[in-house]
Structure 1
Amino acid sequence: MVAQVVVVVATSTDTAKAIRQNLKLIKVCLVTLALIVSSIVVSVTNAAVLPTERADVLYHAYEGDGVTIDGPSVLLRKNIGGKVSVSANYYVDTVSGASIDVRSTASPYKEVRKEKTVGVDFLHNKTLLSTSFTNSSENDFEANSVYVGISQDFFGDLSTITLSYSKGWDVVGRRGDESFEEEADRQKFGFGFSQVATKSLIVGFNVEHISDEGYLNNPYRAVRFLDSSTDRGFSFATESYPRTRSSTAYSVNANYYLPYRAAVYGDARTYSDTWGIQAKNFRIGYIQPYKDEWLFEFFVRYYEQDKADFYQDLFSRPNEFNFMARDKEMSTYNGITAGISVAYEWQFSQTAIFKKSAVHFEWDYMKFAYDDFRDATAEAPVGEEPLFGFSANVLRIFASVWY
Structure 2
Amino acid sequence: MQLIKNKQQTHKNIRQLLKTATGCLLGASTLAQADTQQGYFSGWETDVAALGYTEIDRVSAYEPVITTRKTFDDESVLGFKLVIDALTGASPNGASPSDQIQTFTRPSGKGSYQSAAGETPLDDTFHDTRVSFSANYEYDLGRVDKMIWGGNISKEFDFFSSGLSATYLHDFNNRNSTLSFGLSSEYDLITPAGGIAVPLAQMQASGAVQPKGDDSDTRFMGEMLVGLTQVINRETIAVFNYSYAQSNGYHNDPYKVTSVVDDLTGSLVPGESLTGTYLYDSRPDKRNKHSVYGQVKRALGADSADFSYRYMWDDWGVASHTFNLTYRKNFSSWYLEPHIRYYTQSAADFYRHSISESEMADIGPYLTSDYRLAQMWASTLGLKIGFKTPNGNNNSIRLEYYHQDGEKSPSDAVGIQKNYDMFPTLDAFIIQYTYSF
Q: Which amino acid aligns with 1:389?
A: T
Question: 1:221-232 alignment to 2 at 5 Å?
Answer: 221-226=256-261, 227-229=268-270
Is 2:2–2:127's contact at 8 Å kept on the other side of the alignment?
A: no
Q: Percent identity?
A: 18
Is 1:87 aligned with 2:79? yes
Deviations 1:278-317, CA, capped at 9 Å, x for gaps: 11121222111101x2121011111111100000001124
Match of residue 252, structure 1, among 288, 294, 298: 294
The structural deviation recorded for 1:382 is 3.8
In structure 1, what is the equivalent of residue 133 of structure 2?
A: 116
Aligned counterpart, 2:283? 241
Equivalent residue, structure 1, for 2:371:
328
How far off is 1:105 after superposition? 6.0
Partner of 2:50: 59
Q: List 4+ stretches of structure 1 deviating above 6 A.
A: none
Matched, 1:144 2:162: yes
- Matched residue of 1:91: which SS? strand
CA–CA distance in structure 2, aligned partners of residues 392 and 99 of structure 1: 13
Question: What is the deviation of 1:109?
Answer: 2.3
Q: By how many angstroms is 1:100 displaced? A: 2.7
The Cα of 1:203 is off from its aligned counterpart by 1.4
Unaligned 5+ segments in structure 2 are 4-42, 95-114, 116-120, 197-213, 262-267
- Contact 2:90–2:126, Cα closer than 8 Å, also in 1: yes
Secondary structure of 2:356's partner? coil
Task: Provide the C-alpha distance between the structure 2 equivalents of 1:172 and 1:391, rounded to a whole number of angstroms.
Answer: 29
* Distance in 1 (alpha carbons) for counterparts of 2:124 and 2:308: 40
- Structure 1: unaligned runs, 5 residues or longer: 1-13, 17-51, 349-355, 375-379
- SS of structure 1 residue aligned to 2:93: helix
How many corresponding residue pairs?
339
8 A Cα contact 1:313 1:372, kept in partner: no
Q: Which residue of 2 aligns with 1:301?
A: 341
Question: What TM-score, normalized to structure 2?
Answer: 0.73
| Structure 2 residue matching 1:69: 3-state secondary structure | strand
Return the offset for 1:15.
Answer: 5.0
Give, as a single letter, the amino acid of the residue that structure 2 aligns with 1:274: D
Letter paired with 1:399: Y
The aligned counterpart of 1:377 is none
Partner Cα distance (2:138, 2:260) in 1? 52
Letter in 1 for 2:181: L
**Which SS does the other structure have where 1:326 is aligned?**
coil
Match of 1:170 in 2: 188
157-166 vs 218-227, which moves further = 218-227
Residue deviations 1:366-391 (CA, integer Å, cap 9, x gap): 111111688xxxxx924642131111
What letter matches 1:88 in structure 2?
F
- Give the whole-Å Cα distance in 2 for the aligned partners of 1:358 and 1:180: 47
> Secondary structure of 1:287's partner?
strand
Shift of 1:392: 0.6
Aligned partner of 1:339: which letter? G
Match of 2:108 in 1: none
| 2: CA distance, partners of 1:133 / 1:240 | 31
Taking the aligned partners of 1:228 and 1:252, their CA distance within structure 2 comes to 48
Give per-residue Cα distances to partners, 1:137-157, cap 9 Å, x unaligned: 011100000011111221111
Partner of 2:148: 130
How far, CA to CA, are the matches of 1:384 and 1:15 in structure 2?
30
Q: Distance in 1 between matches of 2:369 and 2:385?
A: 39
1:205-284 equivalence runs, <5 A: 205-226=240-261, 227-229=268-270, 234-259=276-301, 261-284=302-325
Residues 263 and 287, structure 1, Cα contact 8 Å, conserved in 2:
yes
Separation of aligned partners in 2, 1:90 and 1:264: 29
Is the contact made by 1:233 and 1:382 (CA closer than 8 Å) also made in structure 2? no
Is 1:366 the counterpart of 2:402? The answer is yes
Letter in 1 for 2:51: H
CA deviation string 1:120-150 (max 9, x = no partner): 1112322221111111001110000001111
Alpha-carbon distance between aligned partners in 1 of 2:388 and 2:289, rounded to the nearest angstrom: 40
Deviation at 1:346, TM superposition (A): 5.2
Which amino acid letter does the alignment assign opposite residue 335 of structure 1? A
In structure 2, the partner of 1:38 is none
Aligned to 1:99: 91
C-alpha displacement of 1:321: 1.6
Correspondence for 2:67 among 55, 70, 75: 75
1:194, distance to aligned residue in structure 2 (A): 1.4
Given residue 111 of structure 1, which amino acid in structure 2 is its aligned partner? D
